[in-house]
Amino acid sequence: MFSFHNTPRLLASTCCGILLTAMPVAGSAEQAGYYGYGESPTDEQIAAWDIDIRPDGTGLPEGSGTVDEGMAVYETHCASCHGAFGEGMGRYPKLAGGDGSLAEDRPEKTVGSYWPYASTLWDYIHRAMPFFAPQSLSDDQVYALTAYVLNLNYIVDGDFVANKETLPKVEMPNRDGFIWEDPRPVVNNERCMKDCIDEVAVSDSAEGKNLTPSTTGPLDEGITE
């Protein structure tokens, strides 16, 4: 249970000072801004839910996995959506390929071409994959899959062993491809009211493209246009 003595915050200690004198008579009004509801989690409770991994590897658990082990896990749990070599299936995403395509007309954003940090791969596989049974893999399996997907992208060799020491050292090809400060607004339109442009021409129309699902009638997923 919560105790004031374990909360060396400025606000709390101020409250404490007031409380020491006020508690015998009132007790609650003086606590405004500090409530103390809920329970303190145990270390075990925090550890069980605290699954996030940082780019520097903070949060990675014990364990390890090889590329070969990862191939076996991949074929069982991943290939049916992502394809035998991470090439994707239907609308399920590609995991590999797309090197150097980011500035092209049809960029392919994969782990190899786009993801800036290897740690994120471990984190995401662990928290959300396999798609139909998330958080069902062991830590070793996740390490193995991480190694395998990195190998599919030619980022690590076939003898790579993924663990909490090796993963943070993996340099992802697109690591420096991001600007993490929002530069917007990048467009400055002006509020013109009269004779703003000389000529107007329609360059494209959605009519007749046969891509629009029905917006009337029951939800049938049909393309009716």
Partner 1 sequence: MFGKLRRLDRDVSRLALEESERLPSAERRRFLRNGLFTAGGAMVGGALAGIAPKALAATQYPPEIPSWTRTLGPGVVADPYGVPSPFEKEVIRRNVPWLTADKVSSISFSPLQHLKGIITPNGLFFERHHAGRPEIDPQQHRLMIHGLVERPIILSMEDLQRFPSVSQINFIECPANGGMEWRGAQLNSLQFLHGMVSCAEWTGVRLSTLLQDAGIKTQGKWVLAEGADGAAMTRSIPLEKALDDVIVAYAQNGEALRREQGYPIRLVVPGWEGNTHVKWLRRLEVGDKPWMQREETSKYTDLMPDGTAHGFTWVMEAKSVITSPCPEMPLRGKGIHQIEGLAWSGRGKVKAVDVSVDGGQNWQQAQLREPVMSKSLTRFSLEWKWDGNPALLQSRVIDETGYVQPTLGQLRQARGTNSIYHKNSIQTWKVNGDGGVVNVQLS
Scanning residues 196 to 225, which ones bind partner 1 (CB under 8 A)?
196-198, 200-207, 209, 211-219, 221, 225
How far apart (Å, rounded) are the C-alpha atoms in residues 118 and 140?
16
Choice between 7 and 64, CB closer to partner 1:
7
Q: Is 171 in the site for partner 1 (CB under 8 A)?
A: no
Choice between 25 and 193, CB closer to partner 1:
193
Closest distance between partner 1 and the C-beta of residue 44, in Å?
12
Choice between 26 and 46, CB closer to partner 1:
46
How far apart (Å, rounded) are the C-alpha atoms in residues 132 and 91?
15
In single-letter form, the type of residue at position 224 comes to T
Number of residues that make up the chain:
225
How far apart (Å, rounded) are the C-alpha atoms in residues 118 and 149?
10
Residues 6 to 25 in contact with partner 1, rule: CB under 8 A? 6-9, 11-12
One residue of 23, 27, 54, 157 binding partner 1 per CB under 8 A:
54
Q: How many residues lie near partner 1 (CB under 8 A)?
A: 89
Q: Give which of 180, 172, 171 is closest to 115, Cα–Cα.
A: 172
Task: Report the run of H or E that residue 66 belongs to, with start and end.
Answer: strand 64-66
How far apart (Å, rounded) are the C-alpha atoms in residues 29 and 185?
46
- Interacting stretch for partner 1, rule CB under 8 A, among 18-26, 61-69, 113-121, 142-150? 113-121
